[in-house]
Amino acid sequence: MKLEGSAAIVVGGASGLGGATARLLVERGARVAIIDLDADRADDLASELGDRALALHADVTKEDEVSAAVEQASGQLGPLRLAVSCAGIGWAERVVGRQGPAALKPFETVIGVNLIGTYNVLRLAAAAMKDNEPDGDAERGAIVLTASIAAYDGQIGQTAYAASKGGVVALTLPAARDLARTGIRVCTIAPGTFDTPLLAGLPEPAREALGASVPFPSRLGRPEEYAALACHIAENAMLNGETMRLDGALRMPPK
């Protein structure tokens, strides 16, 4: 896929991994719809990136909102060729703690956003791509999902988060197989510990300790490194049905 001149959506694109991806796509010449729950932040980034960026509001768990955003993006930017799904939340709670069993609602909420929300983006973006004119590789589009190394190395208290991200990993290959006949590729990136808003609230010593635990490079990942891989997936037609760890060889300990 040639990014220059292509239309893309980045869901959860107002900050963090998604924000860096939206920036890089615009730099590469793509037209990008930044879709986010935080409308103000999406507006700010789109204004900064200029006339090749569009800000749209949507909650990934709401079918009608994502559908409307995808339709609007396609209508204003042209046929959708790339979708990058970065929206996600975290939650930490042991299965049984001092106060008894974990609350069920937070588990449902994390699964709803991270897994069901990701699937919602996947299916609606693919539906928008299926009638595109194929390129020289008979490709009509590419979709990049976001998991986490917690899918493999979930830590104490991460049952909800690990289960949600493990679900994203598990659906990647069958989704790619489902969409192969339409010429749409699906890959997933599983980041390690990245310098995103999710970690921004930690004290600096804790952030430094997280970075030091990465074998090499011994630091937190940079959102721009996620963005670079997302763009490479779009450009490399043989990448399909794969989940790629982006973690500096990190394997998370139990806690």
Question: Cα–Cα distances in Å, from 223 out to 110, 124, 247?
Answer: 22, 25, 12
Which among 250, 240, 11, 252 has a CA at the least distance from the CA of 124? 11
Q: Residue 161 catalytic?
A: yes
- Secondary structure (3-state) at 36: strand
- Secondary structure (3-state) at 108: helix
How many residues are recorded in the chain?
A: 255
Element (H, E) at 190: strand 184-191
- Secondary structure (3-state) at 222: coil
Running DSSP on this structure, what letter comes out for residue 11?
A: E
Q: Per DSSP, which regions of 37-116 are E strands?
A: 53-57, 80-85, 96-97, 100-101
Catalytic residues: 161
